[in-house]
Chain A
Amino acid sequence: MPPYPPDAPPAIHLENVAKRYGRDLAVADLSLTVANGEVLGFLGPNGAGKTTTIRLLLGFLRPTQGTVRLLGHNMAEPKAALAARRRLGFVPDVAGLDAAASGLWLLDEVAQLQQQPPVDRAQLLSALAVRDQDLRRPLGRLSRGTRQKINIVQGLQHRPDLLILDEPTEGLDPLAKRALFDLLHAAHARGATIFFSSHVLSEVEELCDRVALIRSGQLAAVARIDDLRAHMQRRVTVRLTGDAAEVGRRLAAAPGVASVNGDDTQWRFLTGDLPATLRLLATLPVADVTIEPPSLEDVFLRYYRAEHTPNA
């Protein structure tokens, strides 16, 4: 059962948030709401404003304008921010771990500072296959992957209601990635809200309900992944039984169809109007049709290619 009453404020609420450094606008007019229990993927290329947004969320940066609320608490008010942080788990970049500290020290120290018992520590260490001897060695002598596992444990060990993860799969092997995803699915199942910042699209696609795409400090899109896909062009491949040249001409003339290319046996093209395309194909000498759903990568490329296109 989710730990929130139905009328609980959203886990994350950013309202017209802007952050300016001198003349540079790092984040502009950012409004975003993440419901309790939701898993939101936060995507953007380097320099788009992902890190600035996370630092605004956690209260490390003060917004030039707007309001940041976590779990209903205004992060600009110190006392309210403390209340939010009691229910928060943050997995930052692994580089922040003190190389001289052992994993066990780190986990104990942050658990004490969190003022919450590390109820899930043993389970997390077991799931991520962190050995006892690794916990007793200085973090600086551990592999990047093991450090990242300990980093993940420190963020999740107190069973937070809201998890903010900044590229948490960096350095993890496929097994550990799988284990992390299982842990995050379990956290989601018990009602935790997850804000998952990443540039690995397949991970976001697997884990998240919705995705927010940030571009040049502004939200380019916030939508369910399925909805984003629905608005994308689909890649269609048709295998022919008749006159290929005639099929090519008719496809090229069809509304919503683009990038038509092929040979005597098959044609490939993109369509933004699938029903009309299917109606057209029904009138053509087609032996087989393959329609590929657009991937999140297609969505990502569409949004970020536009950024680099003059006058886009």
Chain B
Amino acid sequence: MHEVRIDLGNAALIFIGTLRRKRWSLLWFAVAVGAFHWLVAVSFPAIGGMAAVTNVVRTFPAGLRTLLKLAPNLQAGFGVQDYLAFTWLHPLFIGLGAAFVVARATDALTGEIERGAIYLILSRPLRRWSFVVGKTLEMLVGAGVIALAGWIGLAVGVQTLPYALPLGNYLLAALMAWLLFGALGGGALLIASGFSRTSPAGGLAIAWTLISFVLDVIPAVANSPVGWLNPWHHYFPQAIVATGRLDPLGVGVMIGWLVGGVVGAIRVFGRRDLA
């Protein structure tokens, strides 16, 4: 028990140390995402309001609506609430979030090996799993800060609009975005744990985020018996904002990818040669 406490303490040290060193990059990520959500909200009247957006969206072909996960909500009309929910699926937002977790996951394992910093840390009485857990915590906290910054930007921005919007539901959408980033980060950590060079690890981790996204918009794959395993399959911000609740299966799949990825990374990283 005493040893586990020491290991958890070491994980906390790695987490705090990494967060401290990378705080400025995290801050700028968060500012960018917050500013984006704020801008989407405040610019809503400038683009012609609800009528203009609805008309534009109705012209989208069915395939594009599927790609943008717009189809179900269009049946009930596409309003400002849906428009602002869509910001949680905007390529800029999910691209930034996915890039953040991929960058953090690959830097945490392959980057540290490539720079040689890992030898400075792991020559101490520190188990490798503590190191992976510490790095994972930093990635998760960072992804959480980014998702929260998006919600804060949105919450500030909607104050300028003459609509009553369910900000609590948007917070749930931000929570689901955080879980999605965690799931993608878990997969990226697992990929990175097997590499010693950042380029191939980063490339494969980016491929994992993109391919999993694309697979979910191919109906034959998305509707297959294994389609539910894809984290993107459960990421539906408009539904969350409309209903005000999270799909438990979706939350479970996201957490499953995160935990499975981290456990896999610990096993691979714990047994491999560090060179």
Contact = CB atoms under 8 A, between A and B. Distances in A.
Interface in A38-84: 52, 55, 58, 60-62, 78, 82-83
Contacts of A86: 125
A169 interface: no
A109 B125 contact: no
B245 interface: no
B4 to A, nearest CB: 13
A109 B13 contact: yes
Interface stretch (B45-53, B115-123, B198-206): B115-123
Contacts of B118: 60, 96
B119 A92 contact: yes
Interface centre among B21, B117, B125 (most CB of A within 10 A): B125
Contacts of B119: 55, 58, 60, 90, 92, 96
Q: Among the interface residues A95, A97, A105, A109, which one has the most CB atoms of the partner chain B within 10 A?
A: A109
Contacts of A96: 115-120
A58 B122 CA distance: 9
A85 interface: yes
Interface in B1-44: 6, 10, 13, 17, 20-22
Contacts of B121: 110, 113
A58 B120 CA distance: 11
A100 B124 contact: no
A86 B119 CA distance: 15
A154 interface: yes
A90 B13 contact: no
B122 A60 contact: yes
Nearest to A138: B21
Interface residues of A, number: 29
A249 to B, nearest CB: 58
A90 B123 contact: yes
A307 interface: no
Contacts of A52: 275
A165 to B, nearest CB: 12
A105 B124 CA distance: 16
A95 B127 CA distance: 23
A98 B120 CA distance: 10
Contacts of B125: 82-83, 85-86, 113-115
Given A86-B125, A113-B124, A114-B124, A60 B273 contact: yes
Nearest to A93: B116
Given A55-B274, A60-B274, A85-B124, A109 B17 contact: yes
A182 to B, nearest CB: 24
Given A82-B127, A95-B115, A113-B10, A154 B120 contact: yes
Contacts of B62: none
Which of A85, A96, A114 has most chain B Cβ within 10 Å? A96
B74 interface: no
A88 interface: yes
A112 B14 CA distance: 10
A61 B274 contact: yes
Given A92-B120, A95-B115, A96-B116, A78 B127 contact: yes
Most buried by A among B6, B20, B21, B123: B123
Contact of B123 (A61, A85, A101): A85
A98 B116 contact: no
A163 B245 CA distance: 57
Contacts of A93: 116
A60 B17 CA distance: 22
B126 interface: yes
A60 B20 CA distance: 26
A94 B126 CA distance: 21
Interface string A208-238: 0000000000000000000000000000000
Interface of B: 6, 10, 13, 17, 20-22, 115-127, 273-275
Nearest 4 pairs of A and B residues by beta carbon? A96-B116, A90-B123, A113-B124, A60-B274
Given A60-B273, A96-B115, 19 more contacts: A55-B273, A60-B274, A60-B275, A61-B274, A62-B273, A82-B127, A85-B123, A85-B124, A85-B126, A96-B116, A96-B120, A98-B117, A100-B22, A105-B17, A110-B120, A113-B13, A113-B126, A115-B124, A115-B125
Interface of A: 52, 55, 58, 60-62, 78, 82-83, 85-86, 88, 90, 92-93, 95-98, 100-101, 105, 109-110, 112-115, 154
